[in-house]
Amino acid sequence: MLEDLEQQFVCVRAVQMKGVDLSLFQFDWDQTWCVFFLNADGTIYGRYGTRAGNGDKSTTHISVPSIKKSMERALELHRGYPANQAQLAGKRGPKFEYATAEKIPNVEEHHCIHCHNVREGVLRTKWLDKKLTAADLWVYPLPENIGLKMDVNDGLRVMSVTPHSPAAKAGIRAGDDLISLAGQPLISQADIQWVLHQSPVETKLAVIFARGGKEGTTTAATLTLGGSWKESDIAWRSSSGPGLRYGFWAVPLAANDKLQRNIPADSFAFRVRNLYAPRAGKLKDAGLREGDIIVAVDGKTEPMTESQFITYLRLSHSPGDTIRFTLLRQGKREELEIPMW
Amino acid sequence: MRTRWLLTLFLGLFGACTNTQAQDDLRKNLKDTNVADHWIYDDIAAGFAEAKATGKPLLVTFRCVP
């Protein structure tokens, strides 16, 4: 199905990140699969590959028809090059702080450096250097974050728009086709994510969309973004393991388990699922055990998602701090002071 | 199930390569054998060189082999 299109490209299959130019190849490194379309001079035509979670959620944003369309759109941009060079400039990110994955401190290398290992090393290093911020965690927002549900078999056709969302306020409707965002021509949902990823939280983005097909209209509008639109679930991300949990994996307690333990339904409760050695050594030395139920962290009992718990751990505590877990163990409450690990 | 099907499909479509001995060895070590001939295996620089010579655009996939 795609072979004819493939013949129009020079195709490269990269299977590890060693030696890869991280300034050029910036993408959501927690994906299992990603595509770049480029000119031989390094100009990026676009990206393809979007992941929203694990299991079934890992393929909700990719399909064979949409990769085909992205390939066709990339070829169209190639035919228009270099006249469109200025529009494409933003597709290349700022110089990355490490030239290659091997230069990242704390990157874990097994038989190869996987894509997610890059992000793990960056996150761990930033936390150890006390430089980790929310901006490092909320990466590559999905189109849904601004109210856009895209057609998985097209990538740029809008399936639905969340009422009162930034997309709705910009006048975008179901059936519209996105053409450009922040001046960058789009070829995929990954391109939308790229623009959103590069944008500050408070921003206005120029968007151009078409309505009604070839005989229809083209509209220029503005997306006004602010608040918490960048926040998303990070629990599924591979990099949240070694990069943030660092040997500590706790999962929210199910509702019926809360009921059995007389824990209020709207209260914080996590079960310690795994403590991976050697990273979790400090936790084990402090007395934490797999199977423990944590019912408060630093005295806080407000409910959290797994993603919020991970975020709290790393953004509220620096190396050298201690964190306080209140445990429910064999029906009794116990307090543990744990040095951050 | 859908995840496995899509990944298998993508691996089949994009798991292809032309190779040097080093890339052949890497591919064998990774047991990454579902490949076709017109793909360059794990050599981005070679891809850029060929794109420059042919005038074609580059398509680079990143797919770690578990």
What does the pLDDT look like over A321-331, one tens digit per residue? Answer: 999 999 999 88
Out of B44, B48, B57, closest to residue A9 by CB: B57
What does the pLDDT look like over A47-59, one tens digit per residue? Answer: 999 999 999 898 9
pLDDT of residue A232: 94
Calculate mean pLDDT across residues A235-262.
Answer: 95
Residues of A in contact with B41 (CB under 8 A): 12-13, 15
Query: Cβ distance A30 to A51 under 8 Å?
Result: yes
pLDDT of residue B16: 45
Structure tokens at A113: 């450096």
Binding-face residues of B in 28-57 toward A, CB within 8 A:
29-30, 32, 35, 38-44, 46-48, 50-52, 54-57
Chain A residue with the nearest C-alpha to that of B27: A15
Chain A residue with the nearest C-alpha to that of B31: A15
Query: Which has the minimum average pLDDT: A25-29, A254-258, B15-19?
Result: B15-19
pLDDT averaged over every residue in chain A: 95
Out of A9, A16, A33, closest to residue B59 by CB: A9
Residues of B in contact with A34 (CB under 8 A): 61-63
> For residue A115, how many other CB atoms are within 10 A of its CB?
25
Calculate mean pLDDT across residues A236-254.
Answer: 96
Mutate to test the interface with B, among A6, A8, A15 (most CBs of B within 10 A): A15
Question: How many contacts (CB atoms, under 8 Å) link A and B?
Answer: 144
Closest CA to A119 of A142, A146, A96: A96
Quote the CA–CA distance of A307 and A185 in Å, as a whole number. Answer: 33
Interface contact A34-B35, CB threshold 8 A: no
> For residue A157, how many other CB atoms are within 10 A of its CB?
18
**A78/chain B closest Cα distance in angstroms:** 7
Residue predicted with more confidence, A318 or A213: A318
Query: Which has the minimum average pLDDT: A93-97, A110-114, B9-13?
Result: B9-13
Residues of B in contact with A56 (CB under 8 A): 2-3
Rounded alpha-carbon distances, angstroms, from residue A216 to A7, A149, A185, A187? 33, 21, 19, 20
Quote the CA–CA distance of A185 and A320 in Å, as a whole number. Answer: 46
**Is the predicted pLDDT of residue A25 greater than 70, yes or no?**
yes
Structure tokens at A335: 């307090």
Chain B residue with the nearest C-alpha to that of A73: B57
pLDDT of residue B3: 53
Calculate mean pLDDT across residues A168-191.
Answer: 98
Quote the CA–CA distance of A171 and A207 in Å, as a whole number. Answer: 10
What does the pLDDT look like over A27-52, one tens digit per residue? Answer: 999 998 899 999 999 999 999 999 99
In three-state form (DSSP H/G/I as H, E/B as E, the rest C), the secondary structure along A195-261 is HHHHCCCCEEEEEEEEECHHHCEEEEEEEEECCCCCCCCCCCCCCHHHHHHCCEEEEECCHHHHHHC
Calculate mean pLDDT across residues A170-192.
Answer: 98
Interface contact A63-B32, CB threshold 8 A: no
**A76/chain B closest Cα distance in angstroms:** 11
Pairing of strands A10-14, B58-62: parallel
Interface contact B56-A25, CB threshold 8 A: no
Calculate mean pLDDT across residues A286-309.
Answer: 97
Can you give the C-alpha Rg of chain A in angstroms?
Answer: 22
**pLDDT band at residue B1 under the 50/70/90 scheme:** very low
**pLDDT band at residue A291 under the 50/70/90 scheme:** very high
Mutate to test the interface with B, among A10, A37, A109 (most CBs of B within 10 A): A10
**Is the predicted pLDDT of residue B15 greater than 90, yes or no?**
no
pLDDT of residue A199: 97
Q: What percent of chain A has pLDDT above 90?
A: 91
Out of B6, B48, B61, closest to residue A13 by CB: B61
User: Scanning the structure block, which residue is given the tokens 């990944």?
Assistant: B7
ipTM: 0.93
pLDDT of residue A229: 98
Chain A residue with the nearest C-alpha to that of B18: A12
Calculate mean pLDDT across residues A271-298.
Answer: 95
Residues of A in contact with B65 (CB under 8 A): 15
Helix (H) or strand (E) holding A69: helix A64-79
pLDDT of residue A239: 94
pLDDT of residue A318: 97
Quote the CA–CA distance of A48 and A156 in Å, as a whole number. Answer: 12
What does the pLDDT look like over A69-100, one tens digit per residue? Answer: 999 999 999 999 999 999 999 999 999 999 99
Q: Residues 6 or more apart from B25 whose CB is under 8 A from it?
A: none
Interface contact A39-B17, CB threshold 8 A: no
Calculate mean pLDDT across residues A226-248.
Answer: 96
Mutate to test the interface with A, among B28, B54, B64 (most CBs of A within 10 A): B64
> For residue A276, how many other CB atoms are within 10 A of its CB?
16
Residues of B in contact with A109 (CB under 8 A): none
Out of B27, B43, B59, closest to residue A35 by CB: B59
Q: What percent of chain A has pLDDT above 70?
A: 99
**Across chain B, how many H-helices and E-strands are there?**
3, 2
pLDDT of residue A113: 85
**Is the predicted pLDDT of residue B39 greater than 50, yes or no?**
yes
Could you tell me the pTM of the whole model? Answer: 0.91
What does the pLDDT look like over A132-159, one tens digit per residue? Answer: 999 999 999 999 999 999 999 999 999 9
**Is the predicted pLDDT of residue A336 greater than 70, yes or no?**
yes
pLDDT of residue A112: 76
